[in-house]
A and B are shown apart, each in its own frame.
Chain A
Amino acid sequence: MVADALVALADPTRRRVFELVAEHPSPVGRLAEQLPVSRPAVSQHLKVLRQAGLVHEDRVGTRHVYRLDSAGLGILRAYFDSFWERSLAAFKEAVEQTDPPDPPTAQEAT
């Protein structure tokens, strides 16, 4: 899930689509007006963002409005916001799994 989100956001245009949705929940047409790409291209970017759990689609009357997906963003936020938290957890796991080094034997010592 996090990997999907990171890959989705690695594309600059798709990231811009995401940022515009973050500023205002928007239908496809309004997003396309603000971007130098076609409406079908924006739809394709939204599809990737939706599959990555970053945005979701609401039906408002006859319109489809895209807004941020708070659940998906929560996962991404946890991934980044807790760099040290994750690092210390990785440290704990590694140090507890690793056997302490054997003291040098008489033969190895010089």
Chain B
Amino acid sequence: MTTGTDTTTVRRSVIVEVPVERAFAFFTEDIGKWWDPNHHLLTEPLAEMIFEPVVGGSIIDRGVNGAESRWATVLAYDPPTHVAFSWSINLQWQVESDLAKTSEVHVTFTPQGESSTLVELEHRHLDRHGPGWESMRDAVGSPNGWNLEPFARAVLSSA
């Protein structure tokens, strides 16, 4: 068991019935077509999401009145098999500019035949969010423990 690292990583996977190139392109350039529109850090409604397809680029949420939130930095961009970005959100659900204090989301796309793709997501290094990091882990995916505050903050900040 590698529970030492497992506790700071959240893993999820899904099989999608499309070719790997299509899965990768849709996950990245069409992120606004599948991302939950209630999950953003803007104080105004979300208008669009932009995924800059280059290492060092950003994922940008843009509001209906033009406000922008650059809440992720692209760390790896290797179509059609791997993409990674920072989770540049602090425990107060604000954008964190110090990459050393952000966790990482790694997504790999593995062909399963010609028209099917395994999508594996790992949200790593959640402890980098600092004291209280467990609340971020719980907010994004752990079945272990939970408390109300991060939920409430997330809900209120996305209202």
Contacts and interface: CB of A to CB of B under 8 A. Distances in A.
Nearest to B141: A84
Interface in B28-57: 30, 33-36, 39
B159 A84 contact: no
Interface stretch (A29-37, A44-52, A86-94): A86-94
Nearest to B23: A95
Contacts of A89: 14
Contacts, number: 84
A77 B139 CA distance: 10
B16 A95 contact: yes
B141 A9 contact: no
Interface residues of A, number: 28
Interface string A1-19: 0000010011000010011
A81 B26 CA distance: 24
B155 A9 contact: yes
A77 B22 contact: no
The 5 A-B residue pairs with the shortest CB-CB distance, nearest first, are: A94-B34, A88-B14, A95-B26, A91-B34, A84-B12
B143 interface: yes
Given A80-B138, A81-B146, 14 more contacts: A77-B146, A81-B138, A83-B39, A83-B140, A84-B12, A88-B13, A88-B119, A89-B14, A90-B34, A90-B35, A92-B15, A92-B119, A94-B33, A100-B22
A98 interface: yes
Contacts of A100: 18, 22
Contact of B33 (A6, A10, A82, A98): A98
B124 interface: no
A15 B119 contact: no
B17 A88 contact: no
Contacts of A6: 155
Contact of B16 (A18, A84, A92): A92
A28 to B, nearest CB: 21
B27 A96 contact: no
Contact of B14 (A18, A81, A91): A91
B18 A84 contact: no
A95 B146 contact: no
B121 A88 contact: yes
Nearest to B12: A84
B141 A90 contact: no
Given A19-B148, A80-B146, A87 B35 contact: yes
Contacts of A81: 138, 141-143, 146
A85 interface: yes
